[in-house]
């Protein structure tokens, strides 16, 4: 049987600083007037799960070559870039992966980032997304280091189904214990993300809602996305968020809630009895490109402007070439000011830019979800 090889798309280039120095002012807009407010930093390309929609074992098998440690940004390099992004207006940093808790001594990076403040002097919203398998043993150290909150991925409560989906024989109990530990140390509110794949785990929607209702955790349902090219995405496997809400409302009456911020990706629904809320992220059926304020930094320092991007900008090359802070800050400004990405709004159209992206998109495991 031949092994399917799907290389990570990499059309990155070192930025060329073309204009005058741009001193950060805390306000930076792209071509669609979207500000830079959120930075997602991937700290490792490795994961101990092999989820079928992200890192399928057929591609990421025992022979797959991950990045060498020397290719990864050091904690000092990450801190330096984060500081410059914050000066440009970033208020929230999310650490991701792969599985970020596999990065050795991650708490030291969190301590560095927790000392940063926004351009108007406020603490950063410093969060982390994890599969939860290592969270129970690490929650206290993460909190003590300065982490604000965690988001935990959990796609089923049925243990046999969950083991099949993570394809690494991890038990649901391990993740639930991690969620409990995070709540106990104050990494709250914990958000729990469930990727819904029609015909695979959609029967778990109501049991998940029932389990987390009244728990203090915020359960969010994410439409199965066409990220990268390794997961064999098909539109027939997408269950629209409207159907998710309808299924839950048949058992637990819901009422719509206002968004916390204009850039919030989840539509919020509250239980009528006051026992909490759910969120739905309609990444396929209801594009939210118009309010997207997120930039993504890959494990090896490439800046991507969209989850569905094919090309990145090699900031590591600038860092290691001896570029000054002013030079790197100017490069970041020029990159963001030229951003016009809106893939989800154009999905399914005949636009040439989406046809190219459809065959060249970077893998989610490389830049984080």
Name the binding residues for [4Fe-4S] cluster. 47, 51, 54, 289, 292, 306
Pairing of strands 294-297, 92-96: unpaired
Q: Pick from 97, 131, 73, 123: which is nearest to 315 by CA?
A: 73
Q: Which residues pair with 280 in a beta bridge?
A: 221, 267
* SS3 call for 168: coil
Residue with tokens 């637990």, as numbered in its chain? 252
Annotated binding residues for S-adenosyl-L-methionine, written as ranges, equal 53, 98, 153, 225
Helices (H), the chain: 75-87, 106-114, 135-145, 159-166, 172-185, 205-212, 241-249, 315-320, 325-337, 343-346, 352-360, 364-367
State the Cα–Cα distance between residues 361 and 230, nearest whole angstrom.
10
Annotated binding residues for GTP, written as ranges, equal 40, 94, 129, 191, 294-296
Q: In what order do the strands lie in the sheet with 218-223?
A: 254-257, 267-271, 277-281, 218-223, 191-196, 149-153, 125-130, 92-96, 38-42, 294-297, 302-304, 313-314
Annotated binding residues, written as ranges, equal 40, 47, 51, 53-54, 94, 98, 129, 153, 191, 225, 289, 292, 294-296, 306
Beta strands in the chain (DSSP E): 38-42, 92-96, 125-130, 149-153, 191-196, 218-223, 254-257, 267-271, 277-281, 294-297, 302-304, 313-314
> What is the number of residues in the chain?
369
- Per the CB < 8 A criterion, the answer to whether 54 and 48 are in contact is no
Structure tokens, 335: 């990159």
- Per the CB < 8 A criterion, the answer to whether 327 and 11 are in contact is no
Helices (H), 3-124: 75-87, 106-114
């Amino acid at each position: 049987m031949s092994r399917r090889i799907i290389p990570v798309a990499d059309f990155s280039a070192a930025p060329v600083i073309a204009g005058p120095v741009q001193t950060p002012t805390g306000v930076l807009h792209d071509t669609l007037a979207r500000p830079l407010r959120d930075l997602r930093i991937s700290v490792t390309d490795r994961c101990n799960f092999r989820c079928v929609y992200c890192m399928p074992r057929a591609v990421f098998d025992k022979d797959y070559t991950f990045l060498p440690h020397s290719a990864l940004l050091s904690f000092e390099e990450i801190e330096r870039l984060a500081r410059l992004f914050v000066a440009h207006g970033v208020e929230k940093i999310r650490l991701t992966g792969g599985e970020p808790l596999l990065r050795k001594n991650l708490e030291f990076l969190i301590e560095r980032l927790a000392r940063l403040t926004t351009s108007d002097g406020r603490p950063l919203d410093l969060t982390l997304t994890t599969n939860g398998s290592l969270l129970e043993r690490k929650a206290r150290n993460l909190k003590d280091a300065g982490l604000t909150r965690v988001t935990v991925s959990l796609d089923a409560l049925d243990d046999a189904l969950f083991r099949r989906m993570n394809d690494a024989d991890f038990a649901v109990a391990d993740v639930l214990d991690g969620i409990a530990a995070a709540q106990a140390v104050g990494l709250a509110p914990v958000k729990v993300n469930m990727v819904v794949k029609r015909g695979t785990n959609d029967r778990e929607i109501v049991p998940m809602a029932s389990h987390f209702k009244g728990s203090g955790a915020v359960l969010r349902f994410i439409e199965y996305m066409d990220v990268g090219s390794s997961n064999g995405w098909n539109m027939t496997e997408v269950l629209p968020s409207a159907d998710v809400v309808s299924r839950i409302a048949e058992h637990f009456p819901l009422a719509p809630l206002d968004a916390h911020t204009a850039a919030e990706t989840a539509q919020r629904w509250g239980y009528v009895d006051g026992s909490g809320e759910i969120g739905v992220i309609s990444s396929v059926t209801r594009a939210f490109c118009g309010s997207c304020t997120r930039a993504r930094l890959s494990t090896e320092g490439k800046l991507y402007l969209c989850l569905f991007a094919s090309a990145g900008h090699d900031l590591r090359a600038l860092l290691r070439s001896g570029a000054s802070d002013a030079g790197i800050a100017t490069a970041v400004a020029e990159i963001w000011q030229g951003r016009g990405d809106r893939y989800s709004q154009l999905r399914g159209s005949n636009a040439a830019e989406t046809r190219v992206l459809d065959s060249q998109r970077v893998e989610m495991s490389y830049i984080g979800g």
